[in-house]
């Protein structure tokens, strides 16, 4: 009889992608495994997961609303209703294991699975565990983490250092530099900076680059700039006189492997998935953590690297003053750039999806 696994969580690409990667690895290891996803209604996973070829059921759950305290009054009722529905889903599906990757739905689903005696695994992506995962960790059988020193959040005997599952296709850059530079219509002899605020873009990075663009161009630097679809039209209009052949402004990067292969230096946010990809890519990185995430996760992720001399961190607050200066200093200092690339490579863990999938199947046995 086929094994049955529920994978729960989402809310952002940073949670959804690892979830799909784990599901793909489970299928690779055991082709007849049955997988059901559980997400939050109205969130990104309800579209992205079916597009990846998996069935998903939604819970009517939301996070704490900082704008409207009134909306938070119904939170306890939504949580109870979600737990009740989670119980029905687990029973009907006949789940033998449950995996939580973070996001609104993973809390109630894993809590109920724990109460029903079904083995659970948590995939903690960040260097600082959130409140929900800390609670779930008490009952979970296995906690797969991406950073060392996570014993301050979870029981040491349950922790396994696996890294975060990443998009393999995005980090396969070996031997692609020339092909990538040509694909972007750039110059093979110039140094290239990749600036990426993720699929949604990042206003701080866009503002910093807008202000510092001429300085970088004067230095003979060329730029691949993923600005996000929300900002693209406005920036195209604002910068139309400055968008030379050396500046490739794009709403979204379809071929992340080309962007990474072409880049000599990278400026990025500090989401857990992004950092895991950057470690495998092994290029000098300047990180600007987003301040708009719970528990200030991104700052803690970036600190875990900068304290290791594996990246340079510039706070969101000081970025307009210092980001371009820090970037130009690294471009000018070959020894530091080389050291940053080597140090971040040491933190790379490539087979997280397969290792986590193996743990899930072990739990069932």
- Binding-site residues for UDP-N-acetyl-alpha-D-glucosamine, please? 12-14, 126, 167, 199, 298
Residue in the structure block whose two tokens are 């396994």: 160
List, as residue ranges, the binding site.
Answer: 12-14, 126, 167, 199, 298
Of 272, 8, 281, 271, the closest CA to residue 169 belongs to 281
The count of C-alpha atoms lying within 13 angstroms of the C-alpha of 82, restricted to the half-sphere facing its C-beta, is 26
User: 89: which residues sit within 8 A by CB, 6+ positions away?
Assistant: 6, 36, 38, 57, 109
CB 323 within 8 A of CB 212: yes
């Amino acid at each position: 009889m086929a094994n049955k696994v529920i994978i729960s969580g989402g809310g952002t690409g940073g949670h959804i992608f690892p979830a799909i990667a784990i599901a793909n690895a489970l299928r690779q290891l055991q082709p007849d495994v049955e997988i059901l996803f559980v997400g939050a209604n109205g969130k990104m996973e309800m579209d992205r997961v079916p597009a990846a070829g998996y069935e998903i059921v939604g819970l009517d759950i939301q996070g704490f609303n900082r704008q409207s305290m009134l909306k938070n009054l119904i939170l306890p009722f939504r949580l109870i209703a979600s737990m009740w529905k989670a119980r029905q889903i687990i029973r009907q599906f006949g789940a033998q294991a449950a995996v939580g990757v973070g996001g609104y739905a993973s809390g109630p689903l894993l809590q109920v699975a724990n109460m029903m005696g079904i083995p659970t695994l948590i995939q903690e992506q960040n260097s600082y565990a959130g409140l929900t995962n800390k609670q779930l960790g008490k009952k979970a059988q296995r906690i797969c983490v991406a950073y060392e020193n996570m014993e301050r959040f979870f029981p040491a005997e349950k922790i396994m250092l696996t890294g975060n599952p990443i998009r393999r296709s995005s980090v396969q850059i070996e031997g692609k530099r020339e092909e990538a530079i040509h694909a972007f219509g750039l110059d093979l002899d110039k140094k290239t900076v990749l600036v990426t605020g993720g699929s949604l873009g990042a206003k701080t990075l866009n503002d910093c680059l807008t202000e510092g663009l001429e300085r970088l161009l004067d230095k003979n630097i060329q730029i691949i700039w993923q600005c996000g679809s929300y900002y693209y039209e406005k920036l195209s209009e604002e910068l139309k006189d400055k968008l030379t052949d050396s500046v490739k402004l794009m709403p979204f990067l379809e071929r992340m492997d080309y962007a990474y292969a072409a880049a000599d230096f990278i400026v990025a946010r500090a989401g857990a998935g992004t950092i895991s990809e950057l470690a495998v890519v092994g290029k000098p990185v300047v990180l600007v953590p987003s301040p708009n995430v719970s528990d200030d996760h991104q700052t803690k992720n970036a600190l875990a690297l900068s304290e290791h001399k594996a990246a340079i961190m510039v706070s969101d607050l000081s970025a307009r003053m210092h980001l371009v200066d820090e970037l130009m200093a690294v471009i000018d200092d070959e020894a530091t750039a080389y050291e940053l690339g080597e140090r971040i490579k040491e933190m790379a863990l490539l087979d997280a999806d397969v290792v986590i999938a193996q743990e899930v199947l072990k739990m069932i046995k």
